[in-house]
């Protein structure tokens, strides 16, 4: 039984509950970034960015590698599979009740959108 990225569900939800952290995650979807880049892009102070990244790391959503003096952070989407699994039992439900809405929301373009912001 490998429990590599199997952080507690609670940590994952808590990490994603914060809009800033969701923004960071969305940013990292477009590629690895240093702390400074993340701070600037998400309009966070440097310490704030550091702290948010720590939470994301502890939730298993982000990995870090050192590169000279910089710390390059990379998204690890694996824990999000837990969200997907949580969602699974509900997915059929809204298909039944809200067909049109579901279809509209399912439109997922292949290109990253310019900062979904949320």
Partner DNA sequence: CGGTTATATTCCTGTCAAGGAATGCAATGC
Partner DNA sequence: GCATTGCATTCCTTGACAGGAATATAACCG
Q: Binding residues for DNA, per CB under 7 A?
A: 14, 17-18, 20, 34-36, 44-55, 64, 66, 68-71
Which residues does 76 contact at the CB level (< 8 Å), separation at least 6? Answer: 5, 60, 61, 62, 63
Residue 114: name its binding partner from a copy of itself, DNA, none (Cβ under 5 to 8 Å by kind): none
Task: Give which of a copy of itself, DNA, none residue 70 binds (C-beta under 5 to 8 Å, depending on kind).
Answer: DNA
DSSP string, the chain: ---SS---HHHHHHHHHSHHHHHHHHHHTT--EEHHHHHHHHT--HHHHHHHHHHHHHTTSEEEEEETTEEEEEE--TTHHHHHHHHHHHHHHHHHH-HHHHHHHT---SSPPS----
CB of 14 to a copy of itself, least distance (A): 6
Cβ of residue 92: shortest distance to DNA, in angstroms?
27
Residues that bind a copy of itself (CB under 8 A): 2-5, 9-10, 13-14, 16-17, 19, 22, 29, 75-78, 80-91, 93-94, 97-98, 101-102, 105-106, 108, 112, 116, 118
Nearer to a copy of itself, 36 or 77 (CB): 77
């Amino acid at each position: 039984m490998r429990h590599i990225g199997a952080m507690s569900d609670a940590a994952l939800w808590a990490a994603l509950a914060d809009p800033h952290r969701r923004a960071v995650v969305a940013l990292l979807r477009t590629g690895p970034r240093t702390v400074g880049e993340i701070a600037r892009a998400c309009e966070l102070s440097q310490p704030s960015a550091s702290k948010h990244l720590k939470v994301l790391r502890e939730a298993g959503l982000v990995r870090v590698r050192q590169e000279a003096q910089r710390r390059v952070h990379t998204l690890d989407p694996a824990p999000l599979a837990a969200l997907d699994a949580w969602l699974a039992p509900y997915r059929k439900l809204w298909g039944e009740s809200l067909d049109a809405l579901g279809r509209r929301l399912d439109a997922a373009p292949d290109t990253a959108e310019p900062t979904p912001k949320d």
